[in-house]
Structure 1
Amino acid sequence: MASPRSGGPADAERARDAALRFCDAEYPEATTVILGGSSSTGKRTPTSDIDILLIAPPSTFERRNGSPTSEARVTHHDGERFDVFAYTVEGYREWAERDFASLRPVLPVLLTEGIPLRTGDEFSELRRWSADRLAPGPRPTAHQLALRRYAVTDLIDDLTDAMDELVSAAIRADLLRGLGELALLSSGAWLGSGKWLSRRLRAFDPESADALAAFARERDHREAVRVAAALLDRLGGRVDEDFVR
């Protein structure tokens, strides 16, 4: 039998039960409850929390004395850590639009890919709206992509000249994310952060993911610069000419 947070069907079932108990206790008026993240896929680790997206009436938020349309919080219940995204229908649309504008649609992905534990009248329409917006992928302009290439070019030059160990580490971290995001957008994929950047990159551009992993593990300074520069070449190349940001 699987132990708690060990992954697998039994753990996924425990996560679903815990999510419903939590919502019954904290958000009894919620009409739609979605379980997301690793809890929805049966791939929880010992440090995984339970991601929940819920839709509730305005009275829920008035009662909780928070925003009139939304509440995002991290809390603990029955030995589990919950990452909660709670909205009215209007609040969900507002924050989803912000997600789309940032090119990192966390809420729409959660709604469309998560497991519905409870579905109200609004669920089907919101999921269809979200799916329709997600389907085409991000549409960055040529200038937006060039701006990202410019930023990566600058970071590669900074890394080339970096002498201090801490400075080098900071630049490498920025460069890892900058190259990863550029690769995702160049592949027509929405952005992700942290582990989701690597997961999405593995799914949409495995070659860039392998190159980024090689950059991350490379200890030789000059070789790390070479690997980063080669990946940038694959993604459109350096921006060295005069550039208006």
Structure 2
Amino acid sequence: MKGLRLDPIEAAKQVVSKHFPNCQGAILAGSVIRGEATETSDLDIVVFDDQLNFSYRESFIDFGWNIEAFAHNFTSYQSFFIGDAERARPSMPRMVSEGLILKDDGTGRIDAIKKEARLIMEKGPEKWPEETITVKRYFLTDALDDFKGCTNRGEEIFIANTLAELANEFYSRTNGQWLGVSKWVIRSLNHFDPQFTACFVEAFDTFYKTGEKSKIIQLVETVLEPYGGPLFTGFSLGKSEATA
């Protein structure tokens, strides 16, 4: 599919030279830098060019690799840093902080952006206020109750999907951790708590293979326990504003 591949770093340098010759800086990020590349891995390249009016993303194939290019000027990247941090899903800060500099104009700007990204990653997401914890606790409980009572296999599968997402979010955010998407759900969880991650994977793997719910139920109840356990009675959302 991709033909003969060059070495990833050499390929990335040639991509920058060919497709972004006038950029002032470029960073190679992703699985090839972390030593986690697979047969289907691509090259994630973040480009900085002060002639760009706005950021854009582009995908193409060259030098035997699928390329994902993220092009920014020296201010537009900041909105991505901010937005990712607010969502607690630090895709852009992670790429920049862990990435390998491919090109640098010598002004120190690329190093400064990498430092900015590292500080974001080290700080972690904003702490959830008590009101948010209460709301998230209620909706996690609601999904858990649906799961317990459901007898339709198709519905159970998709309720389990929702529980996996909500339980991961609740556990990660109440512990001050970044969230992941797709494969990064497990990577982010495992970075913080390998033992919990193993239990998390086992619980859902068991259910998807056998239909046995008990491990998921126990896992979710364990996640909720430090915050008062499941929540239904007494929960209210928006009532004070409605009666004001």
Q: Which category of TM-score, normalised to the shorter sequence, fits these structures?
A: 0.7 to 0.9
* Residue aligning to 1:41: 34
Q: Percent of aligned positions with the same letter in both sequences?
A: 22
Matched, 1:123 2:110: yes
Residue 43 of structure 1 aligns with an amino acid whose one-letter code is: E
How far residue 147 of structure 1 moved from its aligned partner, in angstroms, is 2.6
Classify 1:34/1:146 alpha carbon distance in 2 versus 1 (closer, same or farther; 3 Å): farther
How many residues of Structure 1 are paired with residues of Structure 2 in the alignment?
Answer: 227
Q: 2:90·2:178 contact (CA, 8 Å) conserved in 1? A: yes
Query: SS state of the match for residue 7, structure 2?
Result: helix
How does the TM-score come out when normalised to structure 1?
Answer: 0.84
Deviations 1:31-90 (A, max 9, x none): 2211111111222111111111111122xx4xxxxxx31011222112211122111111
**Between Structure 1 and Structure 2, whose CA radius of gyration is higher?**
2
Residue 223 of structure 2 aligns with an amino acid whose one-letter code is: L
How far residue 198 of structure 1 moved from its aligned partner, in angstroms, is 0.5
User: Deviation above 6 Å: which 4+ runs of structure 1?
Assistant: none
* Residue aligning to 2:241: none
* Residue aligning to 1:188: 176
How does the TM-score come out when normalised to structure 2?
Answer: 0.84
**Map of 1:52-71 to 2, 5 A cutoff?**
52-58=45-51, 61=52, 68-71=53-56
User: What is the root-mean-square deviation of aligned Cα atoms in Å?
Assistant: 2.1
* Residue aligning to 1:232: 223
**Map of 1:17-166 to 2, 5 A cutoff?**
17-58=10-51, 61=52, 68-120=53-105, 121=107, 122-139=109-126, 140-166=128-154
Q: 1:186·1:235 contact (CA, 8 Å) conserved in 2? A: no
How far residue 156 of structure 1 moved from its aligned partner, in angstroms, is 0.9
Higher mean C-alpha displacement, 164-173 vs 234-243: 234-243
Query: SS state of the match for residue 181, structure 2?
Result: coil
Query: SS state of the match for residue 90, structure 1?
Result: coil
How far residue 234 of structure 1 moved from its aligned partner, in angstroms, is 4.5
For residues 164 and 226 of structure 2, the distance between their equivalents in structure 1, rounded to whole angstroms, comes to 14
How far residue 16 of structure 1 moved from its aligned partner, in angstroms, is 0.9
Unaligned runs of 5+ in 1: 6-12, 62-67
Unaligned runs of 5+ in 2: 239-244
How far residue 235 of structure 1 moved from its aligned partner, in angstroms, is 5.3
Matched, 1:223 2:211: no
Q: 1:36·1:110 contact (CA, 8 Å) conserved in 2? A: yes
